[in-house]
Amino acid sequence: MAAKLREVTGWRGEKIIELLLTDRLDFPEPLFRPGFLGDKWPAIDFYVELTAVRGKRPYFFVQAKATTSELTERSTNIKISSKKKDIDRLLRIPGPTYIFGVHEPSQRVFFRSVHTGISVKAITRIPVSYELTSINLQKLHDEVRDYWKTTNHKPTSSIFA
């Protein structure tokens, strides 16, 4: 029974992420277009494209971790379960990567960047200040957009041209 509940919690967490990333209440249109990759990918659950960026389709990757762990008004972190190998795999993927922690009972999502320079160790807590609110949605959009502005994301030549 516990395994079935964990499966439902994970499935609901994925749907909550999709709903929050496509929130348009505070924006003229959704800032993101998430694509769920399925359960077979070892490191990532979502490929997410930014919308409303002229001339490019910037993107980032998400690993989702859903939890039913306690989250109170005084909590400073949400507890999630990741492994060192999860973080190592995310660090090997070119481009921006994030780990999203979904508190399934409250339908709140919190996130952290997994980028060069962080320790290759399990992430077990995400600060509640990193909640996926409208303000942080905009900040996430701007961070990923600005990353791709500094990176030439297409080869300049090919032997197959």
Q: Print pLDDT tens along the chain (161 aa).
A: 666 767 888 889 999 999 999 988 889 899 999 999 987 788 999 999 999 888 889 999 999 999 999 999 999 999 999 999 999 999 999 999 999 999 999 999 999 999 998 888 899 999 999 999 999 999 999 999 999 998 877 777 888 88
Give the closest residue to 34 by CA, choosing from 44, 25, 47. Answer: 47
Q: Is residue 77 part of a domain?
A: yes
Number of domains in the chain: 1
Q: Is residue 127 part of a domain?
A: yes
Residue type at 147? Y
Dihedrals φ, ψ of 78, to 5°?
-105, 140
Predicted pLDDT of residue 63: 96
Q: Is residue 64 part of a domain?
A: yes
Q: Is residue 160 part of a domain?
A: no
Q: Is residue 56 part of a domain?
A: yes
Give the closest residue to 79 by CA, choosing from 124, 115, 110. Answer: 124
Q: Is residue 155 part of a domain?
A: no
Q: Is residue 156 part of a domain?
A: no
CATH number reported for the structural domain that contains residue 83 in this entry: 3.40.1350
Predicted pLDDT of residue 1: 64
Q: Is residue 9 part of a domain?
A: yes
Give the closest residue to 61 by CA, choosing from 21, 97, 17, 113. Answer: 97
Predicted TM-score (pTM) of this structure: 0.91
Q: Do residues 66 and 10 make contact, with C-beta atoms less than 8 angstroms apart? A: yes
